């Protein structure tokens, strides 16, 4: 009963908070056919400033703290990011009318992290004066990069196996036909010989060229706008003295900029709902359940860190929320490039239209209430 009351109280607060109210407001005006457009360049600047602020907070905290405290939560972040991809591979991919490669891409996006959802969670923790490690936001890349890399690697392994299976069936058929009797002079006009040295080498080296290269995926993730901004903030917080500009500029603007970003995300979420109608209905079910399942796994691991290393309950909430979130900035372009055969309407629609509103509107108060019930707060 304590947990339920805490959850309901946090949910009502979320409805009244700028974070969720602006998100819902964006969905409402989009549904009413509003022509309001916020330029993409402005959105990019807002995202840059929000994630730079989170990075600065983490960098300053890491500089002033014991790095060993971060090891276990960071390892758990990596584990969750990888695990989420395999959960989608062996659950969502097994459902009717769901293509395996689309399910893997969806798992990659849900395993990666939403900077806006994390920013919303940190804001609510501060509003309710729940303590958490300032470096908790720096767990972002430890979950984000492994999830995207794992999704692209698993998808390419699956596609390569599928390709080899098709080629094997074709060769078996050709071998069967070659053993059939042929009338005199009844030979094919074209021989299956390579026409050039390049074609010959490509046939000989085909399987080797299908290997997935890990570093380009990691490099693309690191160079993405979201991670670049946050890692820049972490580096500046670690090696510079940005406290004065942090307190006078980034910190005061944080909540106002976040509310604008939520308005934009609400409008985009509504526009993406139509895309989900083009794919299997199971994506809707997955998008509702996955944030809670992923968050509960991370919450459980966070509690292990809480009891073994003193990781705060606020930090456990942050870990659970980033696991509940799905990437809305860096993930989609990375997956488009890494898994071009996957359907963006499936994984982006599931994430933006349903996954993000569920994570912000329900998962944040859910895990806050759970932590407060455990902590007796």
Distance CA 324, CA 117 (A): 9
**Backbone phi and psi for residue 338, each to the nearest 5 degrees, phi listed first:** -80, -30
- Per-residue confidence (pLDDT) for residue 7, from 0 to 100: 67
pTM > 0.85: yes or no: no
pLDDT in tens, 183-242: 555 555 444 545 554 454 454 444 445 565 667 766 766 676 766 787 888 889 889 989
Distance CA 332, CA 352 (A): 10
**Intervals of the chain under pLDDT 50:** 189-191, 193, 197-198, 200-201, 203-208
Mean pLDDT of the chain: 82
Domains defined for the chain, CATH in brackets: 2-166+207-375 (1.20.1530.20)
Q: Look-up: residue for tokens 């979320």?
A: 14
Distance CA 163, CA 167 (A): 6
- Per-residue confidence (pLDDT) for residue 86, from 0 to 100: 97
- Per-residue confidence (pLDDT) for residue 207, from 0 to 100: 47
Distance CA 286, CA 293 (A): 10
Count the Cβ atoms, other than its own, within 10 Å of residue 265: 23
**Backbone phi and psi for residue 355, each to the nearest 5 degrees, phi listed first:** -60, -50
């Amino acid at each position: 009963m304590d947990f339920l009351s805490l959850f309901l109280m946090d949910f009502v607060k979320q409805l009244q908070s700028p974070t969720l109210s602006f998100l819902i407001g964006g969905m409402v005006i989009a549904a009413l056919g509003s022509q309001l457009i916020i330029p993409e360049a402005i959105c990019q600047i807002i995202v840059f400033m929000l994630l730079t602020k989170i990075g600065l907070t983490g960098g300053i905290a890491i500089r002033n703290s014991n790095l060993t405290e971060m090891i276990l939560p960071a390892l758990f972040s990596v584990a969750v990011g990888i695990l989420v991809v395999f959960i989608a591979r062996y659950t969502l991919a097994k459902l009717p009318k769901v293509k395996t490669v689309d399910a893997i891409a969806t798992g990659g996006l849900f395993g990666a992290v939403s900077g806006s959802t994390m920013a919303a969670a940190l804001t609510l923790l501060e509003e309710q004066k729940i303590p958490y490690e300032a470096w908790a936001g720096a767990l972002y890349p430890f979950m984000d990069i492994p999830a995207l890399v794992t999704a692209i690697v698993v998808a390419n392994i699956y596609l390569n196996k599928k390709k080899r299976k098709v080629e094997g069936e074709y060769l078996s058929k050709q071998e069967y036909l070659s053993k059939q009797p042929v009338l005199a002079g009844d030979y094919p006009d074209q021989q299956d010989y390579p026409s050039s040295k390049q074609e010959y080498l490509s046939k000989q080296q085909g399987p080797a060229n299908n290997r997935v290269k890990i570093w380009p995926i990691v490099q693309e993730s690191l160079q993405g706008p979201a991670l670049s901004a946050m890692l820049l903030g972490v580096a500046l917080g670690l090696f510079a003295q940005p406290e004065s500009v942090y307190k006078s500029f980034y910190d005061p603007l944080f909540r106002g900029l976040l509310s604008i970003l939520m308005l934009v995300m609400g409008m985009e979420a509504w526009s993406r709902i139509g895309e989900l109608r083009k794919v299997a209905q199971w994506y809707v079910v997955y998008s509702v359940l996955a944030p809670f399942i992923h968050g509960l796994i991370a919450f459980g691991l966070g509690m292990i860190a809480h009891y073994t290393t003193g990781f705060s309950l606020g930090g456990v909430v942050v870990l659970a929320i980033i696991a509940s979130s799905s990437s809305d900035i860096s993930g989609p372009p990375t997956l488009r490039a890494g898994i071009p055969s996957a359907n963006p309407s499936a994984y982006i629609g599931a994430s933006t239209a349903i996954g993000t509103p569920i994570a912000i509107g329900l998962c944040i108060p859910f895990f806050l209430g759970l932590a407060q019930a455990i902590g007796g707060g």
